[in-house]
Homo-oligomer: A and B are copies of this chain.
Amino acid sequence: MDTEERLRDILQRLQKDGHRMTPQRVAILRAFLSAQDHPTVEQVYRRVCRDFPMTSLATVYKTVALLKEMGEVIEISGDLQGSRYDAFHPEPHPHLICTRCGQIYDGEGVDVQPVVAALQAQSAFQVSTYRLDLYGVCAACQAQSG
């Protein structure tokens, strides 16, 4: 399922809930769904403004709230200033956050579920989601300054 297909699906589900399809909403959704760099709301705002200068930051906030309700985005809130979002991979997965340059990478190829399941079993919690963030220095930043 590629971005445009997901976009149509999401718009259809929104419409079913009495929501409307506006040019701003489509542009903002497309920006979120296609972003692979975990942008902030502000960054998505600036991207949308490039092709659609008449856009409000408030509308971007309203749109990300919609995506949250629909489970089509995950939020990365750490010691960064401003939350970061991943609507490209909306299922929980590990993130590697570079404390030097601020870049956020997806952690791939490692199955976290067993650990989550073990913690759930040990705690009698009914776990609905999780967040695993590793903080450190990325390869690029290591190369340029030890």
Chain A residues at the B interface, C-beta cutoff of 8 Å: 75, 77-79, 94, 96, 98-99, 105, 107-110, 112, 115-116, 118-120, 122-139, 142
Contacts and interface: CB of A to CB of B under 8 A. Distances in A.
Per CB-CB distance, the 9 closest pairs between chain A and chain B, nearest first, are A127-B136, A124-B139, A125-B136, A107-B119, A126-B137, A110-B118, A130-B134, A127-B134, A131-B133
Copies of this chain per assembly: 2
A26 B59 CA distance: 47
A123 to B, nearest CB: 5
Contact of A78 (B77, B116, B127): B77
A119 B96 contact: yes
Given A110-B118, A112-B115, A105 B123 contact: yes
